[in-house]
Structure 1
Amino acid sequence: MRAVLVGLLALVLTGCFGATTAEQRYYTLSLPQAEQPSRSQFPAEVWVKEVEVAPVYNRPQIVFRFSPQEMQFFNQNRWADRPSRMLSQLLQRSLSTSGIFRSVVARLGTTAPTYVLDSSVEAIEELQGGNLWYAHLAMTFRLARFDANRAIWQYTFDERRPLNRQDLGLVTRAMSEILDEQLRIALGQMQAVLPKHFAQPRFPPRRSTRCSRWPGCSRSAPPLRQSPCRCCRSRGTPPRAMTTASA
């Protein structure tokens, strides 16, 4: 009995003093460096709101999903920053270097921006299906006019990229590649939509009406028929023979 107690005590002491703490690892997404063009394409300012991430994903722990009904979290493998802030910074930088807008802001200032970009994340996780692993990223972008809150463009993607083994380094690298590819497509579509919103409105040509009161007057009257110009109104009533002259 004494030997058993000694053995148990040894196990307890080993657990208290001999166990090593598991090392935590931190991961982030990244985009390739791009040079900002010297000139913007549209004289407008866009406000990039913070990306809205589903609560189950907007946490330090990286999500690992087995099925639509079951998910787990990696306790020792975490995001270096919350996904909402991490993706917001990447999106702001990508828009700034694209040169589409004159200005890209993360917060509202004293002047109202021309556009507002809303983004949301429906999934950012590692998936496992049988013996296969995937990096899964799903997002939606929506560009609207700030003054009217009227959407002029929207883009949604839901991409899964297969991996040759379970490795969070490969997962985050694949997510970064998905984000880079989809942002290129999204910004290209946005760039194609914007010109029609900067076209000058075309008004019908203003009808030029000659002064109807004095036949010899060459001034243009207001856009109403049989209306005298300002100088002729001060002359008084014209001769009866001239009042029937056509405009």
Structure 2
Amino acid sequence: GSTGDGYRFARQAGHTVVPANPSLVPLVEDGDTCQKLMGLSLRNVQLTVYENEKKLYSDFGEMLFTHFGLSGPLVLSASAHMRHFGSKKYRVEIDLKPALDEKTLDKRLLADFDKHKNSDFINALGELLPKKIIPVVIEKSGIDPREKVNSITKAQRAALLRVLKAFPVEISGKRPIAEAIITTGGVSVREVSPKTMESKKLPHLYFAGEVLDVDAYTGGFNLQIAWSTGRLAGLSAAEEES
């Protein structure tokens, strides 16, 4: 919401300004899975981020499928770790049943399948999953939705388990900076005194808040950064004047 003048002033004063990028921001999917699930909110799921197939971040919480991709508190925090779009590939995997390990979840599936053994597969998951996500989970499992439950093999059940424990969403990027809660980037903290917030390059110049290259997760931490650095900068400047 700012004009960006703070960055311009800092550059004019000789400071290094790390380029600003959106953080704590919704993610854009590479595909149409999320569009099919638009409006579905999930609670108490585990989300894991992979960067070039390497596990980067994982946490529990709430998330939301949108027409463009993923949003919600869990996703916003995850976005802070995804900083190299263009040079690296990102994928999100969602554990839809994090409270159950694979062995326990398999027992649950067998119990549900026993109840619906003469039904079509698509009608056997209503007690396990939200209705809206069932067709998408089945599609990703590779099982024919009209296959009879009593004919599903152990290998097919294993494929279903993989989807339930690691529902995949390929990520192509982040939403625009205008939709971000905060940005990464700003005045390099190496050039600012942490004891006073005074510039190390130009005396009597102080920095505070998001103009600095500091950021944190959701939960009030970024507000606290703004208040704490603002108070320290103000006190230091006032002390200098006196």
Shorter-chain TM-score category? under 0.3
Please report the TM-score for the alignment, with normalisation by the length of structure 1: 0.23
* Structure richer in strand, relative to its length: 1
Larger Rg: 1
* Structure richer in helix, relative to its length: 2
